[in-house]
Chains A and B, each alone.
Chain A
Amino acid sequence: MKTNCINREKLVGIPLGRIILLLFFVWAAIPGQLQGAEPDAAALLDHVIFTMNPENVKAIMTQTITSSSGDERTFRYESESGGAGEFSLMRYLEPSRVKGNALLLTDFTDNIWSYNARTNRVRRLASNAKKMKFEGSDFTYEDMGSAKVWKEDFTVSMGEKDRLQSELCQQLILQPKARANSSYSKIILWLRETDHFPIQLDYYDKNETFLKSLYLEDIRLVEGVLTPFTMRMHHHLENSETVMGYESVTYDVNFPKNYFREGNLKK
C-alpha cells in the first residue's frame, strides 16, 4: 500500500536487492485477508482492535437501561477518547441525578477515577471495580474499555464460520490469560465475512455460563471510520438490556497533551 506513495523517480538509483527487500517488508505488513490468504487469528484480532479503536473520538451518547421488570433509565453523556482507547473521559449531561458526574479511565481501564459533582469529590477506584456495572447497566467498566487489552490479556483462536442475522461470520474466540484480571472466561467475536467488522460479541462468565451478548447495529461510515450507531447489550440471565447509541460523533478531534488527567474531570 505504501508503494503507491513512493515517488518513482526516487526508486532510480536504488539497488534492485533493496527494492525487493522493501517490497517484501511492505507485503508482509499487509494483513493476510488483503493478500487473498486465509487470515490468522492474531491478524484478525489486530484488525478488529484497529477498527474498533480510532485514535481520537468525541461523541454525545445516550444509554438506555431496561431492567427485567421493564423499568427504563436513560443517561446522556459526553464521551472523549484518545490514544486509540487508552484514555477515556465521560461527563454525564442527563439525568439530573448524575449531571456533572464524570469518569476518567486510563491505561485501558486499569485506572479509574470517579468524580461526583454534588460532593465535588474525586475518588479513585481499584482496578477490580472495572467488574462493576457501569451506572447499573449491563455494561461493566471493563466492557467500556478499549479492545486493545484483548491483545495483551487474552489468547486468541479461530472459531467456526456461521451465519448470523443472515450474514456469514467468522468467529474469533478470546480466552483470558492466567494473569489477566477479567470477569470473563471467554468472549466470542462474530466478525462479518465481508469486512471482518464485529457485529456481535458473546460473553461467558467464570463458570462458562453464557452471560450476555453485545449487538453492534446500524453500522455507518463516519469520516472513514465504521461506526456502530447502536450498541445493544442483552443480559441473558437477568433478561435486561442496555442500549448505547451515538447522538453525534467525530473522529476529527485532537486533545491537548495531558488532557486525560484527574483535574479535567471537573471541567
Chain B
Amino acid sequence: MKKVKMRHKIPTGEKRSLLRKEQILSAVKVFLRFHYFAKNPAAATLPIFLLFINTLLFPTLLKADCFGYFESEGDGLQSKSSEYLFGYHKLRLDFQTQPEANLKISANLTAKKYWGKRTMNLMDFLPDKLLEPFLNSSFMYPGEPLSFTMADTIYLDNFYLDAYAGNLHLTLGRQQISPGVGYAWNPTDIFNRKDPMDPTYEQSGADAIALELPVGAYLTLSAILQPKESWDTTVRYGKGKFSFSAFDFSLVYGYFQRLFTHLEWPLIFMGMTESVQNRELLGFSFFTDLAGLGFWLEAARCYNRLAGYQYFDFSDANRFYEDPYLANDGHYWQLLIGADYTSNSSLHILAEYFYNGFGSKKDQVNFNHYLDYLDGKTLTLNQNYLFLSLLYPWGDSVTAGIFTLANLDDQSFLLNPQLIFQSGNNLELSLMLSAGLGNAESEMGLQKYGGRLRLRAWF
C-alpha cells in the first residue's frame, strides 16, 4: 500500500486528497483481486460471469420469457461397506426470446450446490478383485483413496439461436442434441451418455451447428457439426429420417473422437496415460407400431480409425489390464431392441435389450473398463443388458412404478420401485428406492441399497 501511495502524487486539497485516497485504495483492491483471480482462475468465474450477465445478457433477456425450476435432491447409498449421504440444490433459469417469427434465442443458466459427502472413493465402487494390484503395490498404500470430488458449479448450460428460412431450420450455439429412439440407451448418440437410472433427465449442451431440412412429405435430412480445435477432432453427424404412417426409419453417420484415460502397465511405472481413438459410426434406427405395441430398434457399427497418437499394446499384460478395444481391430456393434405397450387401464410397460460390443466380455472386466464406464466413455460396463419398466398412474397426482436394470453377463440387477407425486401446476416430488441384487463382486451387486428423493418446483 505504501509503495502505491509514494508512486502517486497526493493532491493538496483535503477533499481532493480523500477522494484520491479512495480511488487509489479501490484501484489497489481491484489489482489485488485480479492478482488473486489470476492465481485462482476458478474463483474468478463467478464475478466474471455476473459481469457478463449484468452488462451483456440482462438487457437482452429483460425482454425475454424467464422461467425455470428449483430442484433439491437427496441421495443415500451403501456400496460395499461404505455409506454415502449426499445431494444437491439446483437452480435452472431459462430465458427465451423471439425477436422475429423465424428467430428464437434461448439460454439457460444452471447453478448447482452440493451438500453432504462430496468426495467419492472410487474403491467403494469397484470390485475388490480389481483392487488387488493396488493394495499389494508398494507404490500405493493400501486403502489410499482414488477419489473424485463433486464441485459446486454455475454455468450457462445452453445458449443457442434457432433460425428458420422456409423449411430449413438452423440451430447455432450450445444446445442439447438427443438423437436415437432408445429409452435407456442410444447407440447412435455420440453427443451424450444417458444414465439408464434416470434416462429422461436433461443432458448438457454441446457447442454445435445443426441444420435440418425436410425434403418432401416423408424425408428429413439433418447435419450437425461440433467444432473442436481442428477438423480432425471436429464431431460430424448426419442423419436421414424417413417417416411414413406407422414407420420411422433413420440412417446415421457419425465421426467423433474419444480420449481414453487408462492405467499403464507394469504397475511399478504406474500412471494414468491417455490415448485417442478416432471413430466412425454407421447406424440406423427404426420405429413401428404393431397393433398398438410400439417396437423400436437402434443399431450402430463403430469403426476404429487410429489417430496416430500413441496407442498402448497390452498384449503382455495380465488379466487386469488387457485392452479389449483392440479386438476385431477396435470395431464393434451396438444394438438396442425395445418395445412398449399401454394397457386399457393406462399401465405402461417398457422393455429394452442392449448389446454393447464396446463393453467388457463376461468375466473379463478390468480396471480400465471401470474407468471408461465411470468416465462416460462407454455406455455400459459389460455387453448384455436389460431394462424393464412398469408405470401406472395412480389417480390424478400419483404415478407408481418399478424398473429394473439387469447386467445379463454378471447376472446382477438393480430393482428400483418409485413414486412420483405431482401437486398443483408446478411441484413434483419423486422417491426412488434401489436394491442391488447379485454377486458382491458384480456390477449391480456392489451397491447394496440406495434411495433418491427429488423435489422440483417450477416457476
A residues in contact (CB < 8 Å) with B: 65, 67-69, 71-75, 94-97, 99-100, 107, 110-111, 116, 118-121, 123-129, 131-133, 136, 181, 183, 205-206, 238, 240, 257-258, 261-263, 266-267
Report Cα–Cα, A184/B123, bound state, in Å. 56
Please, how many angstroms separate the alpha-carbon atoms of A262 and B221 in the complex?
12
CA A17 – CA B200 in complex, angstroms?
Answer: 69
User: A136 vs B428: C-alpha distance in the bound complex, in angstroms?
Assistant: 13
Given contacts A126-B293, A126-B340, A183-B344, contact A262 B395 (CB under 8 A): no
- The verdict on A96 contacting B69 (CB below 8 Å), with A68-B395, A206-B344, A240-B396 known, is yes
In the bound complex, residues from chain B placing their C-beta under 8 Å from that of A111 are 245-246, 289
Q: How far is the CA of A99 from the CA of B393 in the complex (A)?
A: 22
Beyond A127-B289, A128-B341, A131-B344, 13 additional contacts (C-beta under 8 Å) are A68-B395, A73-B422, A97-B458, A111-B289, A124-B287, A128-B294, A132-B346, A133-B346, A136-B397, A238-B395, A238-B396, A261-B217, A262-B241
Q: List 20 A-B contacts (CB under 8 A).
A: A69-B396, A71-B396, A71-B424, A75-B425, A95-B425, A95-B426, A96-B458, A99-B67, A119-B176, A120-B176, A123-B183, A126-B292, A127-B292, A131-B344, A132-B342, A132-B346, A133-B393, A206-B344, A261-B217, A263-B220
Judged by a CB distance under 8 angstroms, whether B164 is at the interface is yes
Contact check, B340 vs A73: say whether CB atoms are below 8 A apart: no
A50 to chain B, nearest CB (A): 25
Q: Are B342 and A67 in contact (CB under 8 A)?
A: no
> Residue of B at shortest CB range from A256?
B167
Q: Is the pair A124, B181 in contact by a Cβ cutoff of 8 Å?
A: yes
Contacts of B422 in A (CB 8 A): 73, 136
Contact A67 B340 (CB under 8 A): no
What separation, in Å, do the CA atoms of A114 and B243 have in the docked complex? Answer: 15
Q: How far is the CB of A88 from chain B (nearest CB, A)?
A: 16
Query: With A96-B69, A126-B292, A263-B212 in contact, do A74 and B342 touch (Cβ < 8 Å)?
Result: no
CB < 8 Å neighbour of A126 from B169, B241, B341, B397: B341
Nearest CB of B to A223, in Å: 23
Shortest C-beta distance, B241 to chain A (Å), equals: 8
Which of A71, A123, A206, A266 meets B397, CB within 8 Å?
A71
Contacting residue for B245 out of A95, A107, A116, A258, CB 8 A = A107
When chains A and B are docked, how far (Å) is the Cα of A121 from the Cα of B191?
A: 13
B220: which A residues are within 8 A, CB to CB?
A: 261-263
- Interface flag for B209 (CB, 8 Å): no
Main secondary structure of the interface of B (DSSP, over half): strand
Q: Which residues of B contact A262 (CB under 8 A)?
A: 220, 241, 243
User: What residues of chain B have their CB less than 8 Å away from a CB belonging to chain A?
Assistant: 67-69, 94, 96, 162, 164, 169, 175-178, 181, 183, 200-203, 212, 214, 216-217, 220, 241, 243, 245-246, 248, 287, 289, 291-296, 340-344, 346, 348, 393, 395-397, 422-426, 428, 458-459
Contacts of B295 in A (CB 8 A): 126
Bound complex: CA of A68 vs CA of B423, how far in Å?
13
Which of the residues A75, A116, A128, A258 comes within 8 Å of B200, measured between beta carbons? Answer: A116
B230 to nearest A CB, angstroms?
A: 27
Give chain B nearest CB distance to A224 CB in angstroms: 28
Chain A: minimal CB distance from B346 (Å):
5
On whether the beta carbons of B214 and A261 are closer than 8 Å, the reply is yes
Kindly provide the distance from the CB of A267 to the nearest chain B CB, expressed in whole angstroms.
7
By a CB distance below 8 angstroms, the chain B residues around A125 are 294
Distance (Å) between the CB of A113 and the closest chain B CB? 9
Q: How far is the CB of A126 from chain B (nearest CB, A)?
A: 3
CB distance from B395 to the nearest CB of A (A): 7
Question: Given A124-B287, A126-B340, A240-B396 in contact, is the A74-B292 Cβ separation under 8 Å?
Answer: no
Minimum CB–CB distance from A20 to chain B (whole Å) comes to 43
- Assuming the contacts A67-B395, A132-B348, asked whether A126 and B342 have C-beta atoms less than 8 A apart, the reply is yes
Query: Contacts A67-B397, A267-B164 hold; do A73 and B342 have CB atoms under 8 A apart?
Result: no
Q: B292 contacts which of A119, A124, A128, A206 (Cβ < 8 Å)?
A: A128
Q: A129 CA to B391 CA in the complex, in Å?
A: 12
| Closest-CB distance, A176 to chain B (whole angstroms) | 12
Smallest Cβ-Cβ distance to A97: which chain B residue: B458
With known contacts A71-B396, A133-B346, A261-B214, A181–B292 Cβ distance under 8 A: yes
Complexed CA–CA distance, A266 and B217 (Å): 18
Asked whether A96 and B67 contact (CB < 8 A) given A132-B346, A133-B393, A136-B393, the answer is: yes
Q: How far is the CA of A131 from the CA of B349 in the complex (A)?
A: 13
A-B complex: 10 closest residue pairs judged by Cβ atoms: A126-B294, A128-B292, A67-B396, A96-B67, A95-B425, A120-B176, A121-B178, A96-B458, A97-B458, A128-B342
Residues of chain B within 8 A of A183, CB atoms compared: 344
CB distance B68 to A96 under 8 Å?
yes
A124 and B294: CB pair below 8 A?
yes
Per the bound structure, the CA–CA distance linking A125 and B346 in Å amounts to 13
Chain A residues in 8 Å Cβ range of B458: 95-97
Contact A97 to B246, CB < 8 A, known contacts A120-B176, A120-B177, A263-B212: no
Beyond A111-B246, A131-B346, A183-B344, is A263–B169 a contact (Cβ under 8 Å)? yes
In the bound complex, what is the Cα–Cα distance between A95 and B289 (angstroms)? Answer: 31
